[in-house]
Amino acid sequence: MSKLLIKGGSSLRGEYRVKAAKNAVLPIIAASLLTNEKCEIENVPNITDINNMLKIMRSLGANVSFEESVIEIESKEPLRFSVPTELAKELRSSVFLLGPVLARIGKAAVAYPGGCDIGVRPLDIHIKGLQEMGIAVEESHGVIYCDATRLKGADIMLDFPSVGATENLMMVASLAKGRTRIRNAAKEPEITDLQNFINAMGGKVSGAGGSTIVIDGVKELHGCHYRPIPDRIVAGTLLIAAATCGGKISLFDSQPEHIEPLLFKLSKSSCVLDVRSDKITLIAERRGRNFDKLETQPYPGFPTDLQSPMMTLMAVSEGTGVIVENIFETRFRIVRELIKMGARITVKDRTAIVRGVKDLEGAAVSAGDLRGGAALVIAGMKAEGYTTIENARHIDRGYERIEDIMNDFGADIKRLQ
């Protein structure tokens, strides 16, 4: 089992070029099933979630290669319609395959997906939307069976602006007969990126980034070459790390507009920010001030994926701050690990009160999920002494060898097998 050993106390200095966003690449990989021609996706990080998605694609019959940050996918017939249960349970994003498999083959079978245990993430919104498009859905023994014989465009109102449901419905609608409107759609940048990818294949999608997305179904799509948006969560994690440990870092290919809530918060601490069109420089020369309140919201609000790293920053900032988690109810699992390191945090329901301490102490901790694991890496780099992080495999789901990234900034992290 993979483990990280961190010697704390180093400030961070250097530059990093941000690779494509995991949460953009995964639905784009799925959408490549909408055509039988070759799709090329560039600047892709070599992380576990993406490799697991490519395993699923191969299991469906697609020809896949992944070399030097470029993925090539060609999915000619015959394709399989059933996603293997053992693969689906490793990856939450396996649910993205429902839409494109249904649109391409007319039927699909996908087991309930896995991924991080950060709370209930029901598929009801996905299923309701598919049913409104004429798709018959049955659930049996943990598997979702769908029949798209009567697939057609529809006017859909989502009960919640779910990212996954929005993307799934966009994909299936791209080859459906007629027009589909998705109202109360998610507004995340990854939604717009999927729209742009589908349109690069010859699709007719508009409105992404707003509350209503319109998709006019086309008869067929073609292959394309595409560069997804940079990973705003990786960029945010690195900025928070520098704010926590001190130093000066610059991020290139960062698209600052995608992380404006974070940049606003950091500017209210003791950080100095220089923000350009595709470059962010952060300088942190003294202990930061805590935030009165940090509340997670759907985009364009503060992202839940950066809440755990921000908790680490707040744990060593001056004063007391409050975090309200509105998206996933078990995002506070990291609290018990930070307390082992000397943090003073109290949790009640979805609210955490963080009383800043001057220093953390190295300890043996365990990553319970992807973003919590990254937050523990930041805590370990800040802490006095040595920190060991068990279950580093969770971190590998979204960060391409996080120890190499941080060591290039001056950290001291070793991976132990």
Amino acid at 27: P
Let me know whether 271 and 384 are in one domain: yes
- CB within 8 A of 28, min separation 6: which ones? 41, 193, 194, 197, 226, 228
The reply to whether 289 and 177 lie within a common domain is no
Is there a single domain that holds both residue 177 and residue 243? no
In a shared domain, residues 96 and 130: yes
Is the separation of the CB atoms in 167 and 3 below 8 Å? no
Q: Which residues are catalytic, by number?
A: 116
- 65 in the same domain as 181: yes
Q: For residue 87, give the CATH number of its domain.
A: 3.65.10.10
Determine the Cα–Cα distance for residues 228 and 44; give it in Å rounded to an integer. 8
Residues 204 and 273 in one domain: no
Residues 382 and 411 in one domain: yes
Instruction: Kindly report, residue by residue over 198-252, the tens digit of the pLDDT.
Output: 999 999 999 999 999 999 999 999 999 999 999 999 999 999 999 999 999 999 9
196, 226, 256 - which closes a domain: 226
Render pLDDT for 301-355 as a digit per residue (tens, 0 to 9): 999 999 999 999 999 999 999 999 998 877 899 999 999 999 999 999 999 999 9
Residue 402: its pLDDT value, please? Answer: 98
Last residue of a domain, one of 176, 195, 226: 226
215 and 120 in a single domain? The answer is yes
- Tell me phi and psi for residue 159, to 5 degrees: -70, -25
33 and 153 inside one domain: yes
The count of domains in the chain is 2
**Domain, as residue range, for 364:** 3-18+230-416
| Strand order across the 70-74 sheet | 63-67, 70-74, 39-41, 224-226
Query: Do 99 and 222 fall into the same domain?
Result: yes
Which one of 204, 226, 248 terminates a domain? Answer: 226
167 shares its domain with 268? no
Are 402 and 310 found together in one domain?
Answer: yes
Tens place of pLDDT for every residue, the chain, 417 residues? 799 999 999 999 999 999 999 999 999 999 999 999 999 999 999 999 999 999 999 999 999 999 999 999 999 988 999 887 887 777 767 888 899 999 999 999 988 775 444 344 468 899 999 999 999 999 888 888 999 999 999 999 999 999 999 999 999 999 999 999 999 999 999 999 999 999 999 999 999 999 999 999 999 999 999 999 999 999 999 999 999 999 999 999 999 999 999 999 999 998 999 999 989 999 999 999 999 999 999 999 999 999 999 999 999 999 999 999 998 877 899 999 999 999 999 999 999 999 999 999 999 999 999 999 999 999 999 999 999 999 999 999 999 999 999 999 999 999 997
Instruction: Read off the pTM.
Output: 0.95
